[in-house]
Structure 1
Amino acid sequence: MTVYRYKNNTPKLKLEDFFSGDISVWGMFEDTFGIIRKRFTCKISGSWDKNTKTLNIKENFMYDDGVKEYRDWKLIKINNNCYEGTTDAVIGKALGYTSGNTFHWKYTFELPLFGRKTKVKFDDWMYLQDNDVIINKAYMKKFGLKLGTVTLFYKKG
């Protein structure tokens, strides 16, 4: 499936608009059998630098087991609908495209899994529902096998 399938969907998603400011996130990780293994919340603070075309996103996660995690993303806008993203846990760069109300990106992520850091691939889809809400599904794989799905709900304000 391609992101351009959603080119006519509205409202139009501009990452630099949606992710500027404060956002609350709720999410969960489901394994391949549909069992929810982790739930979490996240507070996001984002800012857009129009001179460098850089979106800075600071994420503070709190998992249901009490574990806290901090992530600092930098997304550079390459053109009208293409972004490159980096953070400490991404191997190389995340590459993504917007079209209509949708953002799709893929990346390899170093994730703490089974007591050690493991490289997993994410196929990540975000859908803008209205100007204040995104629903996100990210499919996680290792060696081409599905490990599970992360589902997130983003709310501005």
Structure 2
Amino acid sequence: MMSFFMGLLLVLTLVVLHQRFLGFAAQKPEDYADGKPDFDIRRHFDGTIVCEGVIYGPTGRVVSRFVADMEARWDGDTCVMQEEFRYDSGATQSRCWTFRMNPDGSFRAEAPDLAGPGRGVQKGSGVQLKYRIKLPEDSGGHVLDTTDWMYLMENGAIMNRSQFRKFGIPVAELVATMRPKEAA
């Protein structure tokens, strides 16, 4: 019986070490500091943006697809970005973000469905944003720890990968692209 618990402890230790040093959570903004092109959210989150993505559930299967229209406007170091999501289920969702830039390039993010402010850092070609999001009641009403990683591509598109965790355990992941909407 003791060897079972020792084996279980070893497996749990390896999982924690993998997540901390090798997995998604191991990324740091400094990893992208020398990356090009430079991602400046003041420039790349400005105007009308189209977003398309998928959400993966805890089993790794796609549980939802979405398209979103975003409208971002800056006034000095403050941005208001309105998002309008349309899901494959027919459901819609709106979110209004407020971003406030700090002199060092970090930023604060707020939205009505966040449990407290989010914190962001932009370095080189990457942006990391961490926040706690409150799910709607019809989705369980849970509060999830969220990490968004956004990477600026050479053509101006932004690749977004987000991980949602509950008690440190990944429960969902989002992958999306964002790009400026082409003029009609």
Q: Which residue of 1 aligns with 2:128?
A: 104
CA RMSD of aligned residues (A): 1.2
Q: CA deviation at 1:131?
A: 5.2
Aligned 1:43-62 pairs, distance under 5 A: 43-50=69-76, 53-62=77-86
Question: How many percent identity over aligned positions?
Answer: 24
Aligned 1:3-152 pairs, distance under 5 A: 3-50=29-76, 53-112=77-136, 115-130=139-154, 132-152=156-176
In structure 2, the CA distance between the partners of 1:40 and 1:113, relative to structure 1 (3 Å rule), is farther
Q: CA deviation at 1:117?
A: 1.4
SS at match of 2:36: coil
Whole-angstrom distance in 1 between the partners of 2:48 and 2:97: 15
- Per-residue deviation, residues 20-52 of structure 1 (Å, max 9, x unmatched): 1011000111112210000000000001111xx
Kindly indicate which of the two structures has a greater share of residues assigned to helix.
2
Kindly indicate which of the two structures has a greater share of residues assigned to strand.
1
Higher-Rg member (1/2) = 2
Which structure ranks higher in relative contact order (CA pairs < 8 Å, sequence separation ≥ 6)?
A: 1
Q: Unpaired runs of 5+ in structure 1?
A: none
Which deviates more from structure 2 when the two are superposed, residues 122-131 or residues 90-99? 122-131
- The 8 Å contact of residues 57 and 74 in structure 1, kept in 2 or not, is answered as yes
Whole-angstrom distance in 1 between the partners of 2:42 and 2:66: 24
Whole-angstrom distance in 2 between the partners of 1:133 and 1:110: 28
TM-score, length of structure 2 as denominator length = 0.81
Q: Which residue of 1 aligns with 2:23?
A: none
Whole-angstrom distance in 1 between the partners of 2:42 and 2:153: 16
SS at match of 1:92: coil
- Moved beyond 2 Å, runs of 4+: 112-116
Whole-angstrom distance in 2 between the partners of 1:86 and 1:102: 20
